[in-house]
Amino acid sequence: MKLLAHILGLCLALALTDADHHEHHDHHDHHAHHAADLDRCEGMEMDAVAVNEEGIPYFFKCDHLFKGFHGKAELSNETFAELDDHHHLGHVDAAFRMHYEGQADHDHMFFFLDNKVFSYYQHKLEEGYPKDISEVFPGIPDHLEAAVECPKPECDEDSVIFFKGHEIFHYNVRTKAVEEKEFKSMPNCTSAFRFMEHYYCFHGHMFSKFDPKTGDVHGKYPKEARDYFMRCSKFSDNSDHVERERCSRVHLDAITSDNAGNIYAFRGHHFLRKDEGNDTLKADTIESAFKELHSEVDAVFSYDDHLYMIKDEQLYVYKVGEPHTHLDGYPKPVKTELGIEGHIDAAFVCEHGDGAHIAHFIKGNHIYDVDMKASPRVQKNERPISLFKKVDTAMCGPGGVKVIVGNHFYHFDNVMLFVASRALPEQHRVSLELFGCDH
């Protein structure tokens, strides 16, 4: 209750600050202060959640917005400028992204505030908005609590599901027909969103995965939102570390597989290890196995029975073993040790084949090679990657290269095909197909 009171007080403080907007133009410092108070890792109830056109989730709280799975709050009106013009309370009741090919509103984001709806396309307010909810979505009530898009065949027709208390409305996008449903097994949603073809109902700082047609909740729910949709250093006491890390929707920072085929995957303050020929996963803090690193690595690659770990401008090297041994004299600057500079998004070595001593480094949409046997080591063979503007991480094993972007990975038989490909190969889910998550 203490936390709830704090958040309610905070929203009120933000609202009061916002109400002063037209009288005082120096209120930004107040907002910055309050944004600092909004710590999603403390556990909070979001007002609304929606995924933007690039697949990045936006979490709304009061008149602030969290983009993605980590990072600080920012003012909602910095991204969606007109949200404050009509409603000085500065909150969002519900939000969703219309995602139906062929519809005029495809990829538009809709926000609901009291009795009004705002439609944005590429962060610009559409002409004529805001409008009354009843005009744009006839049959849907005001003061909603949540909304989520539901395309065919996940729903019988291309639909939007609206939530208000116990009332659930399926709105047919094409015919504008409204069907009222009863979702008996689901708690009242304070926000909802569709992510990787699954549907999530948030209630407080917990969430449940539900069937959009029936509202049925299968499996062990509710679960803690911080464990799966945010990158936090501390988790609830009853958090199952392995379950959380294998099923987290937060993108990986780094991944590698060693010569024996064991996979190491790093995210925030934790890492997962999956041993070759064994489906058992182990999860632990980075601090426990790589204490010199502490947490949050940028890139990791395996070479010659060592793990090369890059964090900022520094390189750490560990000999693979039980436990891993940190080599004396490290960390050393990445530039002097590897001959490469600037922020590195991903690194990997294909140890099975002709280029077994070539380390590949990805920075933005370019890839570079470094010969690990050369002295001194220098970056060479720069070439553009046509398929991706940015990757999160990548690894190479006997089967080829796996490139991870967000929650998905793509398989290429070799580095040359990865660099030269013009068409995306089949998309695979990281949590499901790399780590065997069942939800």
Task: Please give the pLDDT value at position 8.
Answer: 44
Q: How far apart are CA 179 and CA 170, in angstroms?
A: 5
The Cα–Cα gap between 161 and 171 comes to 6
**Sheet of 379-384: strands edge to edge?**
346-349, 358-363, 366-371, 379-384
Helices (H) and strands (E) in the chain, counts: 10, 34
Tokens standing for residue 110: 């809709």
Establish whether the linkage from the previous residue to 130 is cis, with ω within 30° of 0. yes
Tens of each residue's pLDDT in the chain, 439 residues: 333 344 444 454 444 444 444 333 344 444 444 555 777 887 778 899 998 877 888 998 888 888 888 778 888 877 787 776 654 556 889 999 987 766 667 778 999 999 999 999 888 889 999 999 999 999 999 999 999 999 989 999 999 999 998 899 999 999 999 999 888 878 889 999 898 788 999 998 889 999 999 899 888 888 888 888 888 776 666 667 788 888 888 889 999 988 778 899 999 888 999 887 777 888 888 988 898 988 789 999 999 999 999 999 999 999 988 888 899 999 999 999 999 989 999 999 998 777 789 999 999 999 999 999 999 999 999 999 999 999 999 999 888 999 999 889 999 999 999 999 999 999 998 988 888 887 7
Q: Are strands 393-397 and 379-384 parallel, antiparallel or unpaired?
A: unpaired
The DSSP-derived string for 96-159 is EE---TTSTTTT-EEEEETTEEEEEETTEEPTT-SEEHHHHSTT--SS-SEEEEE-TTTSSSSE
Tokens of 436: 């065997």
Predicted confidence at residue 436, as pLDDT, reads 85
Strands (E), 235-357: 254-257, 263-267, 270-274, 281-285, 299-303, 306-311, 314-319, 325-326, 332-333, 346-349
Closest CA to 214 of 161, 292, 165, 135: 161
List the one residue out of 126, 130, 119, 115 whose CA is nearest residue 85: 130
Q: What is the CATH number of domain 2-229?
A: 2.110.10.10
The alpha carbons of the chain give a radius of gyration, in whole angstroms, of: 24
What are the Cα distances from residue 33, in Å, to 7, 243, 273, 366? 14, 35, 39, 38
Write out the two tokens for 348: 């990997």
Query: Among candidates 334, 299, 329, 328, which has minimal Cα distance to 315?
Result: 334
Phi, psi of 331 (to 5 degrees): -75, 155
DSSP-assigned letter for residue 341: -
Parts of the chain belonging to CATH 2.110.10.10: 2-229, 248-434
Q: What is the model's pLDDT at position 14?
A: 46
CB distance 378 to 370 below 8 Å: yes
Exposure letters 419-429 (e unless 16+ CB within 10 A, then b): beeeeeeeeee
Q: Output the CA–CA distances (angstroms, integers) from residue 357 to 309, 353, 370, 414, in the order listed.
A: 17, 9, 9, 15
**Residue 178 to residue 159: CA distance in whole angstroms:** 9
Report the pLDDT value the prediction gives residue 5, as an integer from 0 to 100.
42
The answer to whether 297 touches 309, Cβ cutoff 8 Å, is yes
- Phi-psi region for residue 121, left (φ > 0), alpha (ψ -120 to 50) or beta? beta
pTM for the complete prediction? 0.71
> Which CATH superfamily is 248-434 part of?
Hemopexin-like domain (2.110.10.10)
20: Cβ contacts below 8 Å, ≥ 6 apart: 27
